[in-house]
Structure 1
Amino acid sequence: MTERPTTSWRHGIAEEAEELAAGTLDPECACMAELFPEALLTATDEVLDTFEGELPGVDEASDEKVLAVVERVVLALNAVNEAQGGAAFETDEREELCDYIDESLTEHGVDVVALTARHGLGRYQLTDKWRKW
């Protein structure tokens, strides 16, 4: 399965902590732990757990059911973002989350290109209708 964005964010935090401990990173340049507090990571993982739980069998689902899965994950991520003051997911994080949703659906047999085309959307507009982050 495609790697969750939270996995790479946690890796970045750990790497930065190692560099700080080794003295190879100026503390004023350290930002990962501030950008990705544990509450954000945990809440995001909970949303992605639920999303992943809905993926088995999605390849046989109607467009409406697939889009409902996407809507639920996006709305849940909206709530996570809002709980973090509306600035939890910046540009890079938004792209990572959107790619994760797309790749996860694809890995479970959904032709995202065809799905979006059937609904008059561009390939990368799958989450746009509901996304606030």
Structure 2
Amino acid sequence: MSPATIDRLLAPIRCVIPKRLCGTKPGSLLKTQIPVRTDHWDATEPGYLEADTVVHCGQSLAGDFVWTVTYTDIYSDWTASRAVWNKGATQIVEKTRQLEGELPFPILGFDCDNGSEFLNHHLLRYFS
């Protein structure tokens, strides 16, 4: 089957199923400045967190909407989510601060997506 035939046969489905939206833009050089380990971990104890955002916007990134911030501990798979309005940097830091106060273990490492909602000067000051 040629690529053109595949495209022709899949055209009706592609119109029905939209492409996934991505609300995260590549971050800046701040990733190297945050003094918490952000590389690959071979976690043997709880405390190494991955964090990511999910947008709840339907089929358009236009306007204001809620984002879910999900924190997952690599070792235990313990997961917590927090909602933020419009992915504001100060809200992300505040939700991270709240989460840290509720954790049954200290944060030993923090890795996040490369979006500016995480990699910002507010987060740098918080983890410093």
Same fold (TM over 0.5): no
Indicate the structure with greater helix content: 1
> What TM-score do the two structures reach when normalised by structure 2?
0.34
Indicate the structure with greater strand content: 2
> What TM-score do the two structures reach when normalised by structure 1?
0.33
